[in-house]
Structure formats: structure tokens, C-alpha cells
Amino acid sequence: MRRTPRVRPRATRATRLFPCAAALVAAAGLSQFAAPAAPHAAAATAAAVCDGTGADAADAADAADAGARKPAGGPSGKDPNAVDATRARAMQADLDERLARLGSAHVPLAAVPTTVPVYVHVIHSGEAGRLAQGAVDAQIDHLNATYGGQGEGNTDTRFHFELASIDWTDNAGWYNGVTPGSAAEKAMKQALHRGDQGTLNLYTAHLGQSLLGWATFPNAYRSDPADDGVVVLDASLPGGSATHYDQGNTATHETGHWLGLFHTFQGGCLGPGDYVDDTPPERSAAYGCPEGRHTCAGPGLDPIHNFMDYSYDSCMTQFTPGQAQRMANAWAAYRS
């Protein structure tokens, strides 16, 4: 966000119970990032009561079924892998358990930035999608700017990204319309994945379903190491042709998931939301740059300027200190 609003403490939000739901589900590890052609209208604030909790269960459903963030001209539709409240709670329980084994609920932020090696895999079909070295360099620079605290209201997360290598793969079957969970994605990753849990594999291609990108969460590495990484639309890199999404923030957003962050609208107006204390609650994803949007009761405007919302690239400027802490916790628990 362009300014840091004074928000209601997350402890207040945490006093609300989770939405009415069945037992915990197994925590899986995929998150996707896509959007409609036009800004989404602001949703109404919470009102109904779920089993006496004082919170609107529809908030969580709205957030879980958020319209996918897609490039201009793409069809609208919901995120096919949104994290619902039960899955988020299971993922949080796993993180808490791992942190407990480390003897701390919070890992101190590193005095020296944690360096993350990045292997970039450029998938192309002939000249289509064959990104130049300069485009990749610009994306790495943008990751370091956004994670290094540059931008209005931003926080230095203490993560630094270092390009380890770039490879180019001419494969039309992988390039044209690859989607999460597809045979093409599996083959691509099994052939190209490099490094270990602390290495970021970044793939670029012309994605299917009008998606801008998707990422695996850190807890998923142990079950499928080769799947680990981030996939982004080639046109979303800095200077690309994805209108409103051409400044590199798709990779910033998806890397946030890779480092353990949920969307800012996770859980809607219900606590604990995205499990970060200093991001205001938000009933549903923001599209465009709707200044002054306020979809949940109480203080704190919606965090439309946060990298983990669905806003235009030009609107995204911020990680919060709480998000930096969560990424540090997830790194210590899963990636160090």
C-alpha cells in the first residue's frame, strides 16, 4: 500500500472463530495468480453470523473463490487453487510445529540478507517467448528492489536474489498454454529443476487459462521437490506486453507464496486472515487500484498496495514487517 494505515490488532481478529467447516484437510502446496480485464467492484462488508461467531462465513468463501488475476483481455474466473480456511489452518499448524522444533515461534530477521540462488528457465517456441538476457536481469533486479524495501511504504524483507543461471528450452508443447498440474508442467519441471529447497526455480512461458503465474508453497517441497518453484507469464516481466501487469510484480507476488505468504484477502473479513498481524482484513481481492477501498468493518483500508493482493503492477508497492517476519519463519522452517 502507498501508506501504512493504522489497523486493528490481529489479536482482535483472532478472537473470531474459523468459518464453519469440517476437519482439517491435508496441506497441499499450490497457489495461483491471475485477473480479469477490468477492475472488480468493492464487495460489501461483513454482516451475517456463522454459528454465533460474530463473523460472516461468506467472507471466507468470497476470498477462496476470488476471481483469478489475469492479463487484460483474459476471461474472468475464480482462482482454481485458492487456499480455503481449513487448508490454511492446516498449513499454519504445520509451520507452528516446525518452528516449535526450532525452539522459537518467531525467527529473528537476518542481520545480513538471505541470498536465494535463482535458476531461470526460459521456455519458448522458436522466437516466441525467447526472452533476452536483459529481460531476465531486469526481473532479478525487480525482485531485489521489491524484497529489498524499495517503494513507498515498503519493508526490507532481508531476502536477496542472485541469478545462478539461465537456460533456454525450445519446446512448443511446454510453451503454449502450460497450466498447473498438467503433464506439460510436470515434464518441464522434472527436466529442468535445479538445486534444493533453498533454490528458486523460475519458469517463463505463455501460460494457459489466461494465468499470470502460480507458485508452490514451502511446505510442499518435502512431498514433491521437483515441482517446487514459480511459473510466470513471459509477458509479465519488466517491459513485457501484459497490459497493467508488465512491471515484474507477478514474479514478486508468486515468490511471496514460495516464501510462505498467503493472499492479503485470505479468509476475507474473518480472523486470522492471512496470519499476518499488520495487513488489514480484506473481504475479497482488489483489482485495478481502488484507492480508499474498505470492505471489512473496523479501522484499516484494504491493503490494495500490497504485493500479495491482485492489484495492477503499478499499484503494488509494499510488503509489511509482519509479512517479512512470516517469510523468515517459513524460510527457517522449510527452506534453510
Cα separation, 3 vs 147, whole angstroms: 17
Cα separation, 149 vs 318, whole angstroms: 8
Residue of 33, 67, 77 lying closest to 211 (CA atoms): 33
Instruction: Establish whether 254 is a catalytic residue.
Output: yes
Cα separation, 96 vs 101, whole angstroms: 9
C-alpha cell at 137: 536481469
- Active-site hit among 97, 254, 282, 291: 254
For 141, the enclosing helix (H) or strand (E) is: helix 133-147
Q: Which residue has the cell 527452506?
A: 335
Phi-psi group of 28: left, alpha or beta (phi > 0 → left; psi -120 to 50 → alpha; rest → beta): beta
Q: Is the peptide bond before 272 cis (omega within 30 degrees of 0)?
A: yes
Cα separation, 257 vs 259, whole angstroms: 5
Q: Catalytic positions, please?
A: 254
